[in-house]
Chain A
Amino acid sequence: MEKSLTRDPGFWIMVSIGLALMILGPILIDMFTIMQITQYVVLSVFALSLAYIWGFGGILSFGQAAFFGLGAYTFAVSSIGMGDTTVPLLLSFAVPAAFGVALGYFMFYGKLSDVYLGVVTMVVTLIFWKLANHTAGPEYSIAGVRLGGFNGIPSIPTINIPGQPDAWLDPAQLFRFFMAVLVIVYVALRILIASDFGRISIGIRENEVRASLLGYDIRRHKVIVFAIGSGIAGLSGAMWATYQSFIDPNAFSMEMSAKALIWVMAGGVGTLLGPILGVIGLQWLTLQMGMVDFLNSLVVLGAIMMVLVLALPKGLVPTFKSLAVAGWTLWRRGRGVGGRVKKVASDD
């Protein structure tokens, strides 16, 4: 834990892979695939938002989609309204983060139990979804941009170079920009987690009573963690909106929240890399399943979620890791080298 970030080889490997993919991706890979990967990149940012608050703050939110959708709608409305995407991108972080502060205030200063927290975050998402669906009429417009109800908002602009509203990014540039965002979010979270603030979060996750007995204000701390997660989820929502150039109330859907949970559960709570692998794995799986006629995505998601909880509560990646470590130890023992089972590193 006290190993410093700069001396962690895993961190540098991750950053190098990210940067390599960012630079070389569009050169080596065909454009269609790059556009597919872009989608994974966006969802990875979304996955990181939950991976952070759940794994490193002990806050299990069932409503990350509320912030994802809020960010998406914020971006859609403000970018259409302003004609430039730079400020809207910042707003898509700030507005959900601010809402996260407000909601977090009620939840954490009210000292709600974990179960209540889960229910409240879920209900918030449901209500956003309902509200967004009911905004079909022309009276529901913000700054002249109609919210469109269940039809959603079309023609959301592509990201442009700051200050040049007509200089839109082409797909390769968009991919690179999103990869850069992903790397930045990952690095920022790693720095945050390694900082004293992040270590206190981990302390709060481990033992709230002790954290407050040391004099830390756990309520304020949790609100900040929650708000950061909300902001990142909002940012990924904006990326989603501009990538699809369209957004509808399904951004607020329970399915979206559930996916985030599944990515993190599959990848393992308490890691940042795992959930990104979770995104890739699950999206690939849904793609495969999409070819099977008699199944639909909800059945698949529901079944995966139940299996993860009932059979693999630690998640796929950590389970695989500890199996690998156990196997490795067994193999070394067999060769007479010996050695204790090392604890699987929980921060990659």
Chain B
Amino acid sequence: MTDATRDDGYRILRTRGLTMRFGGVTAVDNVDFDLRDGELRCLLGPNGAGKSTFFKCLTGQLVPSEGQVLLKEQPVTGLNTHEIVNMGVGIKTQVPNVFDGITVYENVRLSARRKHTARIARDVAEATIEKCGIRHLIRREVGQLAHGQRQLVELAMVLAASPDLILLDEPAAGMTGDERDRLAQLVLEAARTAAVIVVEHDMQFIRQIARFVTVFNRGAIFREAMIDDIMRDRAVQEIYLGKQADAAA
């Protein structure tokens, strides 16, 4: 558990006072978020709690209105997406962002190629595809795949770049039971070599992977605690988990 490990003070990710406003709406409100190297963190919160916007601020897709993002203790606020990504961040977005017109293999290879030579990229791509269980789809065009399969392709793209920090926005959406189990294994495995943040609504999936959890509400951090405590927290249930927790129990 994270709390048991010795703290050397290093944080792979920190945000300080991170705020994102759109016109009159504050989507992310003064968020101080810390993530240790190698930690697996789940991000919960109702729709519109600001989780996806938070991710976009982390990756430079949005420039925050206020506050700081520190990646590996380096300030990255205002850098371009590709510059942040090249510091070792991999992100799976909420709506799968894949290259529709080209094959699964080429999708994953293009990701691996960013970091590796052509020869190694080929091997990395094949291995990652194998690992994600989409070997049988390798020659298919991504645009023709089902939603859950596209999710796995995007995950393979994220993993192929072997990032140090992985951001997964609703990775289990649209997946079948088997696909979801595989996904849980993959996430746990990835968390052995990288820090991972997962945004997810699927409580069964969360139970499979979650340890320490951050709950967002109205753009701000509402609670940070171990998953079991979160599940018992009445206030959290009220804002979000209520029905789903009952249903899952």
Contact present between A and B (CB < 8 A): yes
Interface positions, chain A 1-59, Cβ under 8 Å from B, are 1-2
A-B contact count (CB 8 A): 69
Interface residues of A in 209-233 (CB under 8 A from B): 209-218
Decide yes or no: A209 and B103 within 8 Å by CB, A214-B157, A215-B114, A343-B141 being known contacts.
no
Please, how many residues of chain B have a CB less than 8 angstroms from a CB on the other chain?
A: 30
Assuming A213-B81, A215-B85, A216-B82, is B103 touching A203 (CB within 8 A)?
no
The residue from B80, B99, B161 contacting A207, defined by CB atoms under 8 A apart: B99
* Proximity bits, A185-213, B CB within 8 Å = 1, else 0: 00000000000100110110111011111
- Total interface residues on A, CB under 8 Å, equals 22
Whether A2 contacts B93 by the Cβ 8 Å rule is: no
Q: Are A213 and B91 within 8 A (Cβ)?
A: yes
Least Cβ distance of B166 to chain A in Å?
12
> Does B98 contact A212, Cβ atoms closer than 8 Å?
no
Instruction: Collect the chain B residues with CB atoms within 8 Å of residue A213's CB.
Output: 59, 81, 85, 91, 93, 97
Q: Point out the residue from B97, B103, B113 that lies within 8 Å of A210, measured CB to CB.
A: B97
Instruction: Give the residues in chain A near B83, CB-CB below 8 Å.
Output: 217
Residue interface mask B73-111, A partner, CB < 8 A = 1:
000000011110110000101000111111101110111
* Interface flag for B52 (CB, 8 Å): no
B99 touches A203 (CB 8 A): yes
Decide yes or no whether B30 CB sits under 8 A from chain A: no
Given A1-B102, A2-B103, A206-B102, A217:B80 Cβ within 8 A: yes
- B127 interface residue per 8 A CB criterion: no
Report Cα–Cα, A31/B85, bound state, in Å. Answer: 59
Give B residues with C-beta under 8 Å from A.
Answer: 59, 61, 80-83, 85-86, 91, 93, 97-103, 105-107, 109-111, 113-115, 118, 141, 157, 161
9 A-B pairs closest in CB distance: A215-B85, A206-B99, A210-B97, A212-B81, A215-B86, A217-B82, A215-B114, A212-B82, A203-B99
Known interface pairs A1-B106, A200-B110, A216-B114; 12 further A-B residue pairs with C-beta atoms within 8 A, sorted by A's residue number? A2-B103, A2-B109, A196-B118, A199-B102, A203-B99, A206-B101, A207-B99, A212-B80, A213-B59, A213-B81, A214-B85, A214-B111
**Can you name 18 A-B pairs with beta carbons within 8 Å?**
A1-B103, A2-B106, A199-B102, A199-B110, A202-B101, A206-B99, A206-B100, A206-B101, A207-B97, A209-B61, A211-B99, A213-B91, A213-B97, A214-B85, A215-B115, A215-B161, A216-B82, A343-B141
